[in-house]
Amino acid sequence: MNANTSRAPGSAHPDAGSTASAASPTSAASTGSALGAAEVSFARALRAEWLKLTSLRLNWWLSLAALAVMVLTLTATVFSTRYLLADTSLQDTEAQLTGLGLFENAFASFTLITLLMGALAAVAITTEHSSGSIRSSLAAVPNRSIFFAAKLLAVCGFIAALTAALMLLCFLVLLPLAGFYDVMPPLWEPELWWMTLSSAAVVIITAALGFGLGALLRSTAGAVVTYCLLLFSGPIALGLLQALTDFAPWVEELARFEIFALQRQFTAGSASLATDLPVPLAGALLLAWAGLVLIPGWLLFTRRDA
């Protein structure tokens, strides 16, 4: 055909198609690599997971439940303190309460809060599978290890922020109470700050177990039930063993490695008992419990179908 022959309006030059087709693989590859680099960015993945957590209504209900537990605990602490420190017959006995004891009583409620936070962590991953949104999430972040790490970090950050808010509430209530009854603990006392920071760490580490179980089981009910069994079956089984073996030494030794016992030994700090594990070892074993579930959960998540 003559090159000068007129063409219909809007038709492309014959050579334009070949030029475009020759250039398209390179441009598409560069565009795809640029988009891929943006999609798998850890910072972008972390921000997306944080937005998911804050937009999930169930997370806020669990947070409100944790707040309610803390309010009830603080209310009970206020009334019990009023009774203990107002009764003159208890002033010179071991029942006398100290300022540090106020915080110990209040922080005991974090055992129940740990259950709620474990459920929150499990729901964060199981809802991806139950709703089918895991496919679109993995389409945006194809690297499953990055996706898993970003979601875990976002969950731990959310729980840490909530725990910090509950700790602040404790200080706002307990410090004026301790000052009123003249049992104010020194704010620079290492035991007080160790109790505060270690209690927060225990909540985060133990809740990570729930996240790992959610990745393993993909079922909200299964993960939450297994999480509760993992926490409570140990003390029950060890209690039965102690009764059957008449408190055999090997059962007492085994009881030190149970999750709740490790939590107590880790948060005890300098007030730990002679039979307790060293505080760093108790903390390392708590991390080992979390890793025992998180690592298999990560391996299965990166290998099986969404």
198-246 pLDDT, tens per residue?
999 999 999 999 999 999 999 999 999 999 998 988 888 888 888 888 8
Cα 12 from Cα 24, distance rounded (Å): 16
**pLDDT higher than 50, residue 170:** yes
Torsion angle of the four alpha carbons 164, 169, 173, 178, in this order, in degrees rounded to the nearest 10: 0
Phi, psi of 299 (to 5 degrees): -60, -45
Residues 6 or more apart in contact with residue 181 via CB below 8 angstroms: 81, 85
Q: How confident is the model at residue 274 (pLDDT cuts 50, 70, 90)?
A: low
Tracing tokens 């921000």 back to the chain, one arrives at: 47
Separation between Cα atoms, residue 206 and residue 213, nearest integer Å: 11
Segment 281-285 mean pLDDT: 93
At residue 49, the pLDDT reads 93
Taking the C-alpha atoms of residue 56 and residue 226, their distance in angstroms, rounded to an integer, is 22
Statement: residue 261 has pLDDT above 50: yes
Over residues 161-170, the mean pLDDT reads: 94
Mean pLDDT calculated for residue range 190-199: 88
Reported as a single tens digit per residue, the pLDDT across 86-108 is: 655 555 544 456 777 788 888 88
Residue 246 per-residue DSSP state: T
Give the rounded distance of the alpha carbon of 12 from its chain centre.
59
- Identify the residue with better confidence: 178 or 118: 118
Per-residue tokens: 3? 């090159």
* Alpha helix (H) residue ranges in 6-56: 14-39, 42-55
Query: Could you say which DSSP state residue 110 is in?
Result: H
Q: Which two tokens stand for residue 66?
A: 């944790």
Q: What is the pLDDT of residue 63?
A: 94
Please indicate whether residue 162 or residue 9 has the higher confidence score (pLDDT). Answer: 162
Query: Is the pLDDT assigned to residue 54 strictly greater than 80?
Result: yes
Alpha carbon distances (Å) from 22 to 30, 84, 206, 261: 14, 86, 56, 68
Mean pLDDT of the chain: 81
State the CB neighbour count (10 A cutoff) for residue 279: 17
Would you state the structure tokens that stand for residue 149, as one six-digit string? 């790490």
Contact 122, 214 (CB under 8 A): yes
